[in-house]
Structure 1
């Protein structure tokens, strides 16, 4: 039987129809492949950039990652494994960014447990903002090296691996100057109280002045001036409690990120307390001088609290008084009192710690003059009781002072 003759046109139509059927048959697979490729691309992008979509609240570690890298570089020579820093149950105190415990630091040797060194170990609260504040304090201490400044010994590696900052400072058995006034003066009967002479107080203040001069003449990594920010008796530490021969060291560096309700307003100068722009207020060397004047007043009263039980508004009003609301103690010598009042004067009139020390404009020159003047004096200082200015029945003094940040 003769085969059917197929024309060229019929062949073309058949080929087109077959290709069209094959194209329709492949379309679902092409769609699946395209969707899979798109899914893989999205997965790759999410792995690279998706962390930004999952950021927690602003008070997290992520905003501080760049700063943490810098702080780790600064503190790297002091980093040790956490096993080389040991805490005890003896809590020495707590501040706005963490706790301070008595502890030990062990050397990196096989006999380390026989060579432990006493230390004051500071650990931050479990909040990222407070942790950064503690590491910033450690970085400031690491850059400073002076015999009248508390020395940083070691920083735990957990500060960066687990973001639980902890560092160890040298141990000073004498405790703080505020503790000395409390334990040796205010908690004892008059007959048992330690005798404190003007020459001893000036000796302590002169050493603190040496530390402030070193700080104010130093610069940070950006070339900016450095200040202490919290000059007070609670932050002056003693090697022992014999005031004639002890070494005084300034510790607890830098006003933390936020003191909260514990902001030391009674020690702060009016340019900070009365500032309308509290967020951008800058702590300058002149502010340290004012706080040093309040410290000198604390010493002259043997541990009285400045502006005791005054409200925020009463403290602001006290700044307008001639004595700035800090009355002259009965046994305070005139030369010493004049120096205190000069420290509590207007910003441009206050003596400076930085610069030459051959004139009356230098706070250190004034202190050395006082030290020489009272070197053989037997003039004593007597305790002044804290006098409350609160007149209400509900004690307005119990209302927290307003918090604000000091940069």
Structure 2
């Protein structure tokens, strides 16, 4: 019986073994071909972590395929990490509270960043997510309070619960056309975020998705959206422009725009839809409802256009895709008064009084209205 038990256990003896190579701990995940390991828990790790594609152990070369759960948790003096192209997964809470980590390059081999992967990395300022990434887990970048910009690749289909919650320095985020759902509290309390264009692939905007984004001045909602969760834009106290491409007004809860002064805000809707919105609960509370949007065509132009920086103090730039030509730009104050007209893509606004303005951008393919803050 003892001999039989020993024979049964032999295949498992190589599994879950920990070892250290060049100061980094690893766990064996496969002791058979292909030999693989993941980065194990490295409590108290300091300095630079250079993780190779392969490590040698017991005369065999093991491919490093994952950064394991809690691998560098609370390593507050970890300053830099090199992640190899062999890694496909960053597991749960791998870099939790690595408060000394200012930048990280995630290779295109990574397809999943799991729950809390970079939560509380308060010194992280920017991140380019890999092209193969499909999943941004819940809490993945929550409370990365110095994160200023994020580029989400076209491979991502969903943005998880509280994925970027309380990223208080985040001023811009590009959400690609591959995303179909924006999760509960995904961008809640991103207090520096000024504008959001939700792509025409999104069908649901989750509960509190953008709640308490107090610098948010404009939102674009595509006609693909079929559900907007409670408090989705609640407490966005500076929101003054909503471009909604949905022809038939959605039935929404009053909390969607809780504590938003929509009685002083502007709602742009598709041509011919203004009467329906004027009769629709919650939507009818907007000060101005204008049927000026030309369905998907206008939305495509809006997606192909970018204005920056926002907020702005001197030079405002308008960037267009190659097939779109700028014809005219009109600036309006919040009273609807025309302040300036130009046909330039670089515009000096330093003479404008501080505050919010509507920018009407006319092109050879249609027009788009944006909101800017001059400070």
Question: Could you state the TM-score of these two structures normalised by the residue count of structure 1?
Answer: 0.25
Please say which structure displays the higher CA radius of gyration: 1
Higher helix share: 1
Higher strand share: 2
Question: Could you state the TM-score of these two structures normalised by the residue count of structure 2?
Answer: 0.27
